[in-house]
Structure 1
Amino acid sequence: MVRDRPMAAFALVGTVLATAVVVPAPAPARAATAVCQNPSDPGQVNTETPWHQRWLAPQRVWPFSTGAGVRVAVIDSGTDSSHPQLTGRVTTGFDALRNAPGGDVDCVSHGTAVASIIAAERQEGVGFHGLAPDATIVPIRVSERIATEKDGDTVTGAVFAQAIERAVDDGADVINMSVTLYHPDPDVEQAVRYALEKDVVLVAAAGNLHQDGARPDPVPYPAGYDGVIGVGAVDQHGARVRQSQIGPYVDIVAPGGAVVAATRVFGHNVYDGTSFATPMVSATAALIRSAEPGLSAKEVTRRLLATADPARGDASRGYGSGMLNPYRAVTERLTTAKPVAQPPLPEVPQDAAAQARAERWALFGRLALWVGLALAALAVGVAALAAMLPRGRRTRWRPTRPAAPPPAGPEIDEPEEIFFRVPTSTPRG
């Protein structure tokens, strides 16, 4: 939640990773590592362009920025650096669960999907790619499997705070947190403050526990903290995904319904939720920071929100400032300076000859109008006279009046008249 007033005193305990809808596909899986007890299967390679890429059209932005030189930390289940589209784009990172290096391992694909939306490389024959393909991913591992509110691993405030601080110390310019926590902890609050003081852009999921009006949605953290950009999810029709939460912590929305992203090892699957809308905002922040390194985190945040497109609803319906637009965010410049007064326009010199011609044409037009009206009146008169001539001749131009009707009286039956034909000559004998 982005605000200008000081950060409220909240803290966090417990975590909930946004649930991913995964379409399984049979494929040979890589042998499980020491940290993966039940690794998820990889998906199939996606050859078609996903709807969210057609919508956001990142290729329009790449002539201005591809995210080069920007480090994006992904605090999640880790990121599989062996995926063909992520090879060479993922650092070793940090495993906050074991307090040791090794965030580039993912057992459940959640963190790999998030990272791929940001920085997956463009490859021939593959429809999916990241929005900022030249950005560098710094994976910070805080979970070994996708969790839900009712079952799954929890993350203590200390572990999550350590993940944020480690991301900052590893030089992250943007931190993506597709993690939703619903309890306060002072350690996490302090870690968020530390990241903001170090001029890091913080982007977090708004959560997937919308209550459909039964009761207010639970406040998600760190999206609920001041200075953190809270991201909601919309589908391909621009409508809020049903589970995407509603509240003042939603600052902006991005595609998060049935989006394509990478799985561990190789391949892709389809995912739903605010977890996968969040990296699209993080990737756009990376594009801005790459194009204009001199902008502060606050200025990047302001640019993201100010250039959002109108959405189907307002903030009260879970749409925040509107729909993410990477092209506008990178290319449009914002300023707080006062408007600059422009000098008056010079007077256009008049052409005397042209003016005289115009006046003559205006006079001719007026004369033509009056002549036309006179001719029309004359034609009407001639037509009327032609219609009256035959009748006048029949009556010899004398007025005629209709005969008066006979006076009314009682009806008298007249005797029927009988006529006989009288011969005019005597018939012959």
Structure 2
Amino acid sequence: MTRDRPIAAFALVGAAVVTVLAAPAPVAARAATTVCQNPSSPGEVNTETPWHQRWLAPQRVWPFSTGAQVRVAVVDSGTDGDHPQLAGRVTAGFDALRGASGGDVDCVSHGTAVASIIAADRQDGVGFHGLAPDVTIVPVRVSERNATEGSGETVTGAVFARAIVRAVDDGADVINMSVTLYRPDPDVERAVRYAVDRDVVLVAAAGNQHQDGTRPDPVPYPAAYDGVIGVGAVDQSGARIRQSQVGPYVDIVAPGGAVVAATRVRGHAVYDGTSFAAPMVSATAALIRSAEPGLSAKEVTRRILATADPARGDASGGYGSGVVNPYRAVTERLTTAKPVTQPPLPEVPHDAAALARAERWGLAGRLALWIGLGLATIAVGVAVLAALLPRGRRTRWRPTRPTAEPPARPEIDEPEEAFFRVPTSTPRG
């Protein structure tokens, strides 16, 4: 395999950012200034709980598994190991572009976002966190730009294949591939078979080139290869996002429309695409492998697909087996034995900073209510005073009783004019 072969058709799926909460000025990541031609800006910290976390509720599964002792390789644009929520969770990894160590550098935030959905740590005042926070991320860098913007080297079939093999050799239990080739490549196919034969769970994005029925969607690789879980994306309503591809290679769907994830250096952004749905399935695979290390990759895959929640559409509509459910995937068993009673659901931990904010808003609301009632009372008093003031002035502020109206003057018919004059004096006798 050589690096000077023609570049294959590719896409870093879902790399388009819908809303980037960008900081005013870029901040250089560690070593990024020496390898990145045009580093992307970091985002601002997200303090709200993203919808996909409310949907999947990973806190429910953490009493059973947090992904400890599991290594997930992220074959992507690298992963910034210095991000506050990823520090200590990312190995040095491998830069397949240069054939050297250094996968923990990310120029465009794509790989950092993918890794954070899997393993970002919980922090006070931060709403976003990963689904499997105790996973170890093994970053394998195959690109330093996304599909639509930026400059720099990107993935070829040879580089992609080298990345998969290196991830397997570095002890990955799960490999997440949010990079999509749109033509079959024999090197990549051999690398996928190498991983499958070594009992690694492979998860790949199903691609963002849906054609809206005008023509068939292009076949995405490696999602279309046997032994790879192909992942489509749904939005907050559970509907497939418009660009998520439709085809037999879609095995399952996960949240991928307007999801929050980390950016390089620090902060977060909002992303769209199957690239960001795939790591939610990879995290689920890691949770299962941590809870039951004895399960094979095929058994893990079967568990994930069998425990998916019903989706709004069937497999022919790009939904596969349904929507991934990490809690069911970890706690349910595929067996013919009698059901096993599970312990009660644990209390979902609350964000102390969020609770403090809610309390402050509640207090402000109560104060506003009382202030509003006080102002209304004052306004009524002023209106009453304005009505009584003129009357008080007229009576010189002395109490008075209301007087009865004088009787109406009776109407008396006037006599007609006399035809004789009444003498005004008495005639003398």
After superposition, residues 12-51 of structure 1 pair within 5 angstroms as 13-18=8-13, 19-21=15-17, 22-31=19-28, 32-51=32-51
Give me the whole-angstrom Cα distance separating, in 1, the residues matched to 2:321 and 2:150.
Answer: 31
Give me the whole-angstrom Cα distance separating, in 2, the residues matched to 1:44 and 1:161.
Answer: 35
Q: What is the letter of the counterpart of residue 25 of structure 1?
A: A
Q: What is the letter of the counterpart of residue 238 of structure 1?
A: G
Q: Could you list the per-position Cα deviations for residues 372-428 of structure 1 after superposition, in whole angstroms to 9, with x for gaps in the alignment?
A: xxxxxxxxxxxxxxxxxxxxxxxxxxxxxxxxxxxxxxxxxxxxxxxxxxxxxxxxx
Q: Could you list the per-position Cα deviations for residues 163-217 of structure 1 after superposition, in whole angstroms to 9, with x for gaps in the alignment?
A: 0000000000000000111111111110000000000000000000000000000
The alignment's TM-score, normalised by the length of structure 2, stands at 0.74
SS in 2 for 1:274: coil
The alignment's TM-score, normalised by the length of structure 1, stands at 0.74
Runs of 4 or more above 3 Å deviation: 148-154
SS in 2 for 1:301: helix
Unaligned runs of 5+ in 2: 1-6, 339-429
Pairs aligned (count):
327
CA contact (8 A) 2:21 2:268 kept: no
- Which residue pairs with 1:145 in the alignment? 145
After superposition, residues 237-386 of structure 1 pair within 5 angstroms as 237-335=237-335
Percent identity of the aligned residues? Answer: 83
Q: What is the letter of the counterpart of residue 273 of structure 2?
A: G
Q: Could you list the per-position Cα deviations for residues 220-254 of structure 1 after superposition, in whole angstroms to 9, with x for gaps in the alignment?
A: 00000011000000000000000000000000000
- Which residue pairs with 1:210 in the alignment? 210
Structure 1 residues 122 and 150, CA, compared in 2 at 3 Å: closer, same or farther? Answer: closer
How big is the shift at 1:30? 2.7
Q: What is the alpha-carbon root mean square deviation over aligned residues?
A: 1.7
CA contact (8 A) 1:254 1:280 kept: yes
After superposition, residues 8-87 of structure 1 pair within 5 angstroms as 13-18=8-13, 19-21=15-17, 22-31=19-28, 32-87=32-87
Give me the whole-angstrom Cα distance separating, in 2, the residues matched to 1:154 and 1:214.
Answer: 29
Q: What is the letter of the counterpart of residue 20 of structure 1?
A: A
CA contact (8 A) 1:234 1:257 kept: yes
Give me the whole-angstrom Cα distance separating, in 2, the residues matched to 1:30 and 1:202.
Answer: 34
CA contact (8 A) 1:29 1:265 kept: no
How big is the shift at 1:20? 2.5
Q: What is the letter of the counterpart of residue 91 of structure 1?
A: T
Give me the whole-angstrom Cα distance separating, in 1, the residues matched to 2:153 and 2:183.
Answer: 15
Give me the whole-angstrom Cα distance separating, in 2, the residues matched to 1:295 and 1:46.
Answer: 36
CA contact (8 A) 2:21 2:270 kept: no
Q: What is the letter of the counterpart of residue 71 of structure 1?
A: R
Give me the whole-angstrom Cα distance separating, in 2, the residues matched to 1:154 and 1:265.
Answer: 21
How big is the shift at 1:148? 4.1
Give me the whole-angstrom Cα distance separating, in 2, the residues matched to 1:27 and 1:294.
Answer: 49
